[in-house]
Amino acid sequence: MIENLTHEQIEGIMDALPFQLVFIDERDRIQYWNEFKGRMVAANIDNLGKDVRTCHKQKSLPKLEKILSDFKSGKRDEAEFWVPLEHCDMRALNRFFAIRDKSGRYLGTMEYLLNFTYIEKIAKDKKDAEHAQS
């Protein structure tokens, strides 16, 4: 079905996703990120093609190494952890998914950051509105 979409449509869809998305190829190189308007971590064009390890904090590297190793070996296909973002007083859910072809061959990793502080605020606002109505 994707062949029915233009490059511009695909790019628009990816940029409209409500989270920050990164694709890391099978050699652990950053090859893509969406232009999510609510970006929590700055995207630096100089990082395209570079090893993903250069873009993560030193303290998170052991987790990242384990995730990539497990994905490549087929031990697991997804992982997640919480990331406190002190610079913007937010908490993000950082999720990773192994990307595989139809035969199961590892193609890379999709990483996304979801602003969980925003989701919690929406839930609180909804709960407050429901209480106000009762």
Q: Which domains does the chain have, with CATH numbers?
A: 7-102 (3.30.450.20)
Residue 30's pLDDT is 95
Task: For residue range 40-64, list pLDDT tens digits in order.
Answer: 666 778 889 999 998 888 888 999 9
Residue 9's pLDDT is 97
CA distance 86 to 54: 20
pTM (two decimals): 0.80
Q: Which of 37, 46, 55, 47 is CA-nearest to residue 118?
A: 37
What is the pLDDT tens value at each position of the chain, 134 positions in all? Answer: 899 999 999 999 999 998 889 999 999 999 999 987 766 666 778 889 999 998 888 888 999 999 999 999 999 999 998 877 666 677 788 899 999 999 999 999 999 988 877 667 777 777 777 777 76
